């Protein structure tokens, strides 16, 4: 797959965000069961809190998405977190993920960002290798607990 004609663009419209959630479901995520109005409200709240979304499109087809947001704390806004990088399976290994990551890094840098964080499951070898290849290093362990 050649990515020369696949632009990386800001995702600013709620309809595009809804399409992105459908892409996540196609790739093995949970089917979208949340009401559309709730999703639109959440998208607007994310944008108000500084989230930026980027998309990759092959013509009209959404083939990749990523989200970035500032880690808000009392000390600074220089740390940004990447969340939800997804590239359609048919478009992987074409540089789209790398370009989506670059768009996020450029956005954070333009806002004064100094550090990028992201999380990936330890058993997701493909993702771990990808992030290491583009310069990310393991810097912490994360713990979780189900409250259900």
Looking at the structure of the chain, the number of domains it has is 1
Is 14 among the domain residues? Answer: yes
Kindly report the CATH number assigned to the domain that includes residue 41: 3.40.630.30
pLDDT (tens digit, 0 to 9) for every residue of the chain, 148 residues total?
A: 555 679 999 998 888 888 887 777 765 666 667 788 888 888 888 888 888 999 999 999 999 999 999 987 766 668 999 988 989 989 999 999 999 999 999 999 999 999 999 988 888 899 999 999 999 998 888 788 889 7
Is 27 among the domain residues? Answer: yes
Cα dihedral sign, 34-36-38-44: positive
Is 142 among the domain residues? Answer: no
Which range of residues forms the domain containing residue 79?
8-133
Is 106 among the domain residues? Answer: yes
Distance CA 95, CA 78 (A): 27
Is 148 among the domain residues? Answer: no
């Amino acid at each position: 797959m050649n990515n020369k004609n696949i632009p990386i663009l800001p995702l600013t419209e709620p309809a595009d965000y809804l399409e992105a959630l459908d892409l996540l479901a196609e790739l093995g995520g949970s089917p979208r069961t949340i009401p559309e109005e709730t999703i639109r409200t959440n998208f607007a709240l994310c944008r108000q809190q500084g989230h930026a979304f980027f998309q990759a499109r092959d013509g009209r087809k959404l083939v990749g998405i990523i989200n970035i947001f500032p880690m808000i704390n009392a000390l600074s806004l220089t740390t940004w977190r990447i969340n939800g990088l997804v590239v359609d399976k048919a478009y992987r290994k074409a540089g789209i993920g790398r370009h989506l990551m670059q768009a996020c890094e450029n956005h954070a840098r333009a806002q004064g960002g100094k550090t990028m964080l992201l999380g990936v499951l330890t058993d997701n070898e493909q993702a771990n290798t990808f992030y290491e290849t583009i310069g990310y290093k393991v810097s912490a362990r994360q713990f979780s607990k189900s409250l259900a």
